[in-house]
Amino acid sequence: MTDDQRPRTVKDLIKRKKDLIKRRTPDLSLDEKIAITSQIEKIDSIIWSRVSKSDQNFFRTFFKIAKETLEPDVFTRLEGVASTRQHFHESSSKNSYS
C-alpha cells in the first residue's frame, strides 16, 4: 500500500482487510496467497496498534462496575468468558505475528 492508498481509519482498515479476504480464493497462486496473507497480517497489526488506553480504561471501568452491581456468580461467569476470549485472542495474535 502506498501512502495515498493507506486507510486512514480503523473502519477503512477493516474494509481493506475484508476486501483482501474476498480476493483470497483457492485458484490463486501460492505467491499471490502469501502476498495477500502478508497484507492482512500488516493490517491486523495496524488495527491492534491503534487500540488506545481509553479502550483499556473502558474495560477496567466496565469490570469494576459489573463487580459492584452483579451477583458474584454472574460476575464470575462474565469474567471467565472474557478472560478466556482475551487469552484466546492473545495466543492467536502471538502465533500469527511471530
Segments making up each domain of the chain, as ranges: 1-50, 52-98
Tens-place pLDDT, residues 7-46: 678 889 989 999 999 999 889 999 999 999 999 999 988 8
What predicted TM-score, i.e. pTM, was given to this entire model? 0.51
7: its cell numbers: 486507510
Answer yes or no: are the C-beta atoms of 7 and 13 closer than 8 Å: yes
pLDDT given at position 46: 84
* Cα–Cα distance for residue pair 48/45, rounded to 1 Å: 5
Tens-place pLDDT, residues 40-74: 999 988 887 776 666 777 888 888 899 999 999 99
pLDDT given at position 98: 45
Higher pLDDT, 98 or 37: 37
What beta strand segments (E) does 1-98 contain?
none
